[in-house]
Amino acid sequence: MAVNHVIEMRNIVKRYKVKKRKEGFLALDDVSMFIQKGEIFGLLGSNGAGKTTLIKIMAGLLKADSGTGTVLGHDMYLQHKAIRAKVSLVAPTADVGTDNNLTVRQNLEFWAVVYDLDKAQRKGRIDEMLDFLNLRQYEHHWPMSISAGNRQKLAIARSLLVNNPVLFLDEPTVKLDAKGAESVRELVKKINQEFGTTVILTTHYIYEAEALCGRVAIMHKGKIMSCDTVANLRDTLQRYDEWTVTCVGVNDETLAAITGLSFVVNCRSTDNGLIIQTQGAHDKLLEILKLLRNSRVSIRGVSTYEPTLEDVFVDTIAGGEQ
């Protein structure tokens, strides 16, 4: 396994048997990827893209039909038990694994025993999780009496009891309202930053992947169509930041000077001024404006359009349909 790679997979294929279909359903089609230690990695795709199947294979819950892979140095085919002991998985529905006949604290006490957490450490670890996830005020409440967002936090708290180095979150904000979803997203960042936990999450919310993930794999029909940082995905698909400068007095010499700037991809004049495309150079706007001022250009306004991950996603999926 490569240095700092907690997960590596090559050419993973998974088919599900389907009644009356000889070939079955191809859920994963030649998937190859790696995940680095300490990153928040996103699997982005619509329902049925293969995200959950891929997570189950990485978590040691499902066996691939072919390909090779390791998780924390353990073979994905031969060492399922070792993998499951070192990773945590939070299912899409917070209520899975939660006993509504036990209080929030009692649920954590139950799972601390299941995880075989040392008896002397249990109370301290549970108290730490209640405080870390802001659940202390609910510790004696029944799970069904607290919000869906807090039940999701309880599920995450349960998964963190044993402090595993890898955490899988399958659609962590599904069915949550806006406030609950934002609270869970902030928690994911906090877990990653304070514990150094490697987080792999699936989502079909594009803004969620953009807000949380250092790298994103875009999945479609069992394939990984693209995998990179959001910035690099934009560059690969030529999705650049775009500035519209409303101004008068631009001559050919000024146009050529702006076009010649190293961070400018394209610059063209319009009836109202200039449209300038740059490679993620927000800090260079002042340089552009200074150049225009020195050329005696009268600037009347500036607006910007920054391409989102949604633009990249749509382009990527559209390319996969061709």
Under a CB-based contact definition with an 8 Å cutoff, are residues 34 and 7 in contact? yes
Any domain includes 42: yes
| Residue that finishes a domain, picked among 218, 234, 250 | 234
Same domain, 136 and 207: yes
Instruction: Please determine, for residue 194, whether its predicted confidence score (pLDDT) is greater than 70.
Output: yes
Task: Identify the CATH number of the domain in which residue 285 sits.
Answer: 3.30.70.100
| Strands 273-278, 241-248: pairing kind | antiparallel
Which residues does 265 contact at the CB level (< 8 Å), separation at least 6? 238, 240, 277, 278, 279
Same domain, 143 and 214: yes
Please tell me the total count of domains within the chain: 2
Mean pLDDT of 303-313: 73
Q: Report pLDDT digits (tens) over 105-154.
A: 999 999 999 888 888 889 999 999 999 988 999 999 999 999 988 998 99
Same domain, 63 and 164: yes
pLDDT at 213: 93
Which residues does 297 contact at the CB level (< 8 Å), separation at least 6? 247, 248, 249, 250, 254
Any domain includes 317: no
Mean pLDDT of 47-70: 93
Any domain includes 319: no
Same domain, 204 and 250: no
pLDDT at 318: 66
Q: Give the whole-angstrom CA distance, residue 173 versus residue 170.
A: 9
| Residue that finishes a domain, picked among 193, 208, 234 | 234
Q: Report pLDDT digits (tens) over 231-283.
A: 777 666 656 778 899 999 999 999 999 999 988 988 999 999 999 988 765 66
**Of 14-28, 31-45, 152-166, minimum mean pLDDT range:** 14-28
Mean pLDDT of 195-224: 90
Same domain, 224 and 294: no
Same domain, 191 and 268: no
| Residue that finishes a domain, picked among 188, 208, 234 | 234
Domain hosting 167: range is 5-234
Same domain, 158 and 271: no
Any domain includes 45: yes
Any domain includes 70: yes
Same domain, 42 and 181: yes
Same domain, 54 and 148: yes
Instruction: Please determine, for residue 300, whether its predicted confidence score (pLDDT) is greater than 90.
Output: yes
| Strands 74-75, 66-71: pairing kind | antiparallel
Any domain includes 315: no
Instruction: Please give the backbone phi and psi of residue 277, each rounded to the nearest 5 degrees, phi first.
Output: -105, 130
**Distances in Å between the alpha carbon of 299 and those of 95, 251, 278, 303?**
57, 14, 19, 12
Mean pLDDT of the chain: 88
Output the pTM of the full model: 0.75
Any domain includes 312: no
Same domain, 177 and 275: no
DSSP string for residues in 242-283: EEEEEEE---HHHHHHHHTSTTEEEEEEETTEEEEEESS-GG
Reading the block at residue 96, the tokens are 């899975």
Q: Give the whole-angstrom CA distance, residue 200 versus residue 213.
A: 9
Under a CB-based contact definition with an 8 Å cutoff, are residues 87 and 60 in contact? yes
Using only C-alpha atoms, the chain has a radius of gyration, in whole angstroms, of 24
pLDDT band at 180; cut points 50, 70, 90: confident
Mean pLDDT of 3-32: 89
Mean pLDDT of 29-33: 95
Any domain includes 280: yes
Same domain, 230 and 293: no
pLDDT at 308: 67
Instruction: Please determine, for residue 174, whether its predicted confidence score (pLDDT) is greater than 90.
Output: no
Same domain, 170 and 300: no
